[in-house]
Amino acid sequence: METHISDEALKNPAVRRMNEVIKTCVHCGFCLSTCPTYLETGSELDSPRGRIYLMKGVLEGDLALTPTLTGHIDRCLGCQACVTACPSGVQYGTLIDTFRPKLEAEYARTPQDRLTRALLMQVLPYPSRFRLAVTMGKVGKPFARLMPKPMRAMLSLLPEKPLPNGVPLPEVVPAQGMRRARIALLTGCVQSVLDPDINLATIRVLTRNGVEVIVPRGQGCCGALANHVGQQHAARRFARQAIRAFPSDVDAVLTNAAGCGSTLKEYGHLLAGEPDEAAGVAFANRVQDVSQFLAALGLVDPVPALRRSVRVAYHDACHLAHAQGIREEPRALLAGIPNLQLVEIPESEICCGSAGVYNITQPDMARDLLARKVRNVLSTKAEVVAAGNIGCITQMQTGLQASGVRVLHTMQVLDRAYAGTL
């Protein structure tokens, strides 16, 4: 795609990076059938190809950041299904992640939008604040209909049951038997509050398979949430904190949340041009998803057979399948459990509508995408859905709670299979 961006604008490294991505798009349209928002609205401007034209127009100075244009950009989930489908290798994820900080710096959002985004960034990355906010939200839930739409969306995602008690994780958990590897684990901010059992299950599965687990103190948020809403300075601050907190003398830095893993693997890009760019690249090169790591390492012993046949549908988290290219590893781990019948979800490449904070900032589209995902899940007749991302798990639990279908992390499925409780 030919561009006419001024030489002056191209002096900006971010603009140069976006320009290089835009030029690789040949306008073929292969992305359309995999774009969730295009499938829902049918609008070309809600497709990757259409958004590339909009971003190109802004960079060339031909289009202004109007509410209409910004609305089409904001409706992008950042799921990167288009990257998987693109025959030309257009790195759309890099483009949208680089454009969003420009949008945030130059576009005057409404007071309500600014307040919503400020609240999200002041609460979600901090577990103690988030826990307090959830507790307060439960008190305010009966009055949700009187609140603005983003607040109603936030309250709708709150679990019906009381929050599980947070269990402090030891800094070092030794491997069982002979040590085969030593890793450092990112515990996550939202996940550690909403479902701390995911981290506990992950640690149990790893240590059972000869892996020593280090839980670095002071690791904080990975920066994914800030990156989703274009707050690049905050994302970089979180990245630097994580790099300082994690040891370098480990075999890998592991994450059990797809959104976090995708961001951690992009630290070199996030810190490009910064003094700590090299540290970001080195850190990113050590990052693996837990399913990726375990599939490569191999399990010490076969998982015991389940007491009865259990039908499990695997959900591809977008930032695991599309952003990181990890599809077969979690499926292989699940398929290795005797008596577990692994089934595929139709339209598995289509996002469930979680996408970081998307289900709060774009609640209508998120609701429609969740309804689509729920229909597809129910068509599989599965008893359990396995997924590798807390956002997807929370979103699908909201949509499936009336059906009785359980939504678990892949590591929870493995852990319960080991314990005979699945």
Structural domain span for residue 151? 112-156
Whichever domain contains 89, its CATH number is 1.10.1060.10
How many distinct structural domains can be found in the chain?
4
SS3 312: strand
Residue 167 domain-assigned (yes or no): no
Same domain membership, residue 96 and residue 141: no
Burial level of 251, CB count in 10 A (0-12/13-18/19+)? Answer: middle
Residue 230: which pLDDT band, with cuts at 50, 70 and 90?
A: confident
Burial level of 268, CB count in 10 A (0-12/13-18/19+)? Answer: middle
Residue 1 domain-assigned (yes or no): no
Q: Lowest mean pLDDT: which of 52-66, 109-123, 262-276, 325-339?
A: 109-123
| Residue type at 216 in one-letter notation | P
Residue 162 domain-assigned (yes or no): no
Whichever domain contains 367, its CATH number is 3.40.50.11810
For residue 305, the model assigns a pLDDT of: 93
Residue 275 domain-assigned (yes or no): yes
Question: Last residue of a domain, which of 248, 276, 296?
Answer: 296
Report yes or no: 127 and 159 within 8 Å, Cβ to Cβ. no
Same domain membership, residue 180 and residue 150: no
Cα(165)–Cα(297) distance, integer angstroms:
32
Residue 144: which pLDDT band, with cuts at 50, 70 and 90?
A: low
Cα(238)–Cα(228) distance, integer angstroms:
13
Terminal CA-to-CA distance of the chain, rounded, Å? 51
Cα(293)–Cα(281) distance, integer angstroms:
19
Residue 410 domain-assigned (yes or no): yes
* Across 357-376, average pLDDT: 93
Query: What does DSSP say about strands 172-173 and 211-214: parallel, antiparallel, or unpaired?
Result: antiparallel
Same domain membership, residue 288 and residue 309: no
Whichever domain contains 223, its CATH number is 3.40.50
Report yes or no: 203 and 175 within 8 Å, Cβ to Cβ. no
Same domain membership, residue 83 and residue 121: no
For residue 251, the model assigns a pLDDT of: 97
Same domain membership, residue 269 and residue 220: yes
383 sits in which H/E element: none
Among candidate residues 25, 11, 63, 71, the one with its CA nearest the CA of residue 362: 71
Residue 281 domain-assigned (yes or no): yes
Among candidate residues 341, 346, 222, 333, the one with its CA nearest the CA of residue 284: 222
* Across 335-356, average pLDDT: 94
Question: Last residue of a domain, which of 233, 268, 296?
Answer: 296
| Residue type at 266 in one-letter notation | E
pLDDT digits (tens, 9 = 90+) for 259-306: 999 999 999 989 988 999 999 999 999 999 999 999 999 999 889 999
Listed in order, strand segments (DSSP E) in 155-241 are 172-173, 181-186, 211-214
Q: Which two tokens stand for residue 144?
A: 């949700």
Residue 4 domain-assigned (yes or no): no
Give percent of the chain with pLDDT exceeding 90: 72
Query: What is the biggest distance separating any 2 CA atoms in the chain, rounded to whole angstroms?
Result: 67
Same domain membership, residue 138 and residue 193: no
Instruction: Say if residue 67's pLDDT is above 80.
Output: yes
Q: In Å, how far from its chain's centre is CA 42?
A: 25
Same domain membership, residue 322 and residue 273: no
For residue 137, the model assigns a pLDDT of: 75
Same domain membership, residue 403 and residue 312: yes
| Residue type at 127 in one-letter notation | P
Question: Last residue of a domain, which of 260, 279, 296?
Answer: 296
SS3 176: coil
Give percent of the chain with pLDDT exceeding 70: 99
pLDDT digits (tens, 9 = 90+) for 154-206: 777 777 777 888 778 999 999 999 999 999 999 999 999 999 999 999 999 99
pTM here is 0.92
Instruction: Say if residue 75's pLDDT is above 70.
Output: yes
Residue 152: which pLDDT band, with cuts at 50, 70 and 90?
A: confident
**Residue 253's beta-bridge partner residues?**
184, 287
Instruction: Say if residue 140's pLDDT is above 80.
Output: no
Report yes or no: 124 and 360 within 8 Å, Cβ to Cβ. no
Strands of the sheet containing 340-344, edge to edge, are 340-344, 310-314, 384-387, 406-409
Cα(84)–Cα(66) distance, integer angstroms:
30
Cα(316)–Cα(377) distance, integer angstroms:
12
Residue 244 domain-assigned (yes or no): yes
Same domain membership, residue 289 and residue 191: yes
Same domain membership, residue 334 and residue 224: no
For residue 135, the model assigns a pLDDT of: 82
Report yes or no: 411 and 205 within 8 Å, Cβ to Cβ. yes
Query: What does DSSP say about strands 211-214 and 287-289: parallel, antiparallel, or unpaired?
Result: unpaired
Same domain membership, residue 287 and residue 251: yes
Residue 145: which pLDDT band, with cuts at 50, 70 and 90?
A: confident
Residue 71: which pLDDT band, with cuts at 50, 70 and 90?
A: very high
Same domain membership, residue 204 and residue 102: no
Q: In Å, how far from its chain's centre is CA 90?
A: 20
Cα(406)–Cα(408) distance, integer angstroms:
6
Among candidate residues 166, 228, 174, 222, the one with its CA nearest the CA of residue 199: 166
SS3 343: strand
